[in-house]
Amino acid sequence: MYLPKRFIDLAARLGGLPGIGPKAADRLVFYLLDQSEEDVQELADALVAARKEIRFCRQCGNFTQDDLCEVCQDVSRETQLLCVVEEIRDLAAIERTGAYHGLYYVLHGRIDPIARVGPAELQLNLLTERVVAGHIREVIIATNPNFNGDITAMYIAKLLMPMGVRVTRIATGIPKGSDLEFADMFTLTQALEKRTDVET
Ligand SMILES: [Zn+2]
């Protein structure tokens, strides 16, 4: 072993991060050791501060440093339009299109029979409460176009439709079985614009 323990420990931690393999982790450690102590301290402080100060928005489940996130605080948004997504990264993908001006509800999951995640685990009562309290007129279901995303969408539609709210599902321009997160901006914009009413 020609590298010190600290090096190996740090490389192992970085290598455990998503998208970073052992080689990339080594490169990052070499890079960090080439920086000033102050710069590395600032990076470490930024990591800790982000973890400490970022939490979930009380209303939609997006990340925020405050009680409500930037989207929920934005007065120019269409407040009666609610888009339901599985994860914050899906919200981020939709925001990147710039084509959507309503609000969101992040499920932080999806119904997944194999992983034994059912409606109860998703706390869907919070979604129905939000629809009532927010006087929502349309809910756009933007769960992923795969098996779990589809059954989640169907369950939510059946839950909300008796409440008199319009329920739509994003169009299937996104290839079946893929993730919203990886759809290109044009495809995602089209999927939102060509959404259709859910029929149960
Ligand atoms: Zn929010």
Identify whether residues 19 and 76 lie together within a single domain: no
Identify whether residues 35 and 123 lie together within a single domain: no
Q: What is the pLDDT of residues 5-55, one digit of tens each?
A: 999 999 999 999 999 999 999 999 999 999 999 999 999 999 999 999 999
Identify whether residues 67 and 48 lie together within a single domain: no
- 111: domain CATH number? 3.40.1360.10
Q: What DSSP state is assigned to residue 161?
A: G
User: 110, 148 in Cβ contact below 8 A?
Assistant: yes
CA 3 – ligand 1 centroid, Å: 46
CA 105 – ligand 1 centroid, Å: 8
Domain count, the chain: 2
Q: What is the pLDDT of residues 107-152, one digit of tens each?
A: 999 999 999 999 989 989 999 999 999 999 999 999 998 899 999 9
Identify whether residues 68 and 49 lie together within a single domain: no
CA 146 – ligand 1 centroid, Å: 26
Identify whether residues 48 and 83 lie together within a single domain: no
pTM for the full model? 0.83
User: 88, 63 in Cβ contact below 8 A?
Assistant: yes
Q: What is the pLDDT of residues 143-174, one digit of tens each?
A: 998 899 999 999 999 999 999 999 999 886 66
Identify whether residues 135 and 112 lie together within a single domain: yes
CA 64 – ligand 1 centroid, Å: 7
Kindly indicate the confidence band of residue 176, based on its pLDDT and cuts at 50, 70 and 90: low
Please list, in sequence order, all residues whose beta carbon lies within 8 angstroms of the beta carbon of residue 81, skipping any fewer than 6 positions away. 101, 102, 103, 136, 137, 138, 140
CA 106 – ligand 1 centroid, Å: 9
Identify whether residues 121 and 102 lie together within a single domain: yes
Identify whether residues 107 and 172 lie together within a single domain: yes
Query: What's the domain range around 142?
Result: 63-197
Mean pLDDT of the chain: 92
Task: Identify whether 30 is part of a domain.
Answer: yes
| Statement: residue 85 has pLDDT above 80 | yes
Task: Identify whether 82 is part of a domain.
Answer: yes
CA 66 – ligand 1 centroid, Å: 10
CA-CA distances (angstroms) from residue 88 to 9, 178, 198?
30, 16, 23
Ligand 1 ion local residues (Cβ < 5 A): 57, 59-60, 62, 69, 72
Identify whether residues 40 and 72 lie together within a single domain: no
CA 101 – ligand 1 centroid, Å: 13
Residue 197 has a pLDDT of: 86
CA 115 – ligand 1 centroid, Å: 28
Segments of 31-152 assigned E as strands: 55-56, 63-64, 78-85, 102-106, 138-141
Edge to edge, the sheet with strand 196-197 lists 102-106, 78-85, 138-141, 166-169, 196-197
Identify whether residues 47 and 121 lie together within a single domain: no
Task: Identify whether 58 is part of a domain.
Answer: no
Percent of the chain at pLDDT > 90 equals: 80
User: 57, 69 in Cβ contact below 8 A?
Assistant: yes
| Assigned token pair, 14 | 């970085």
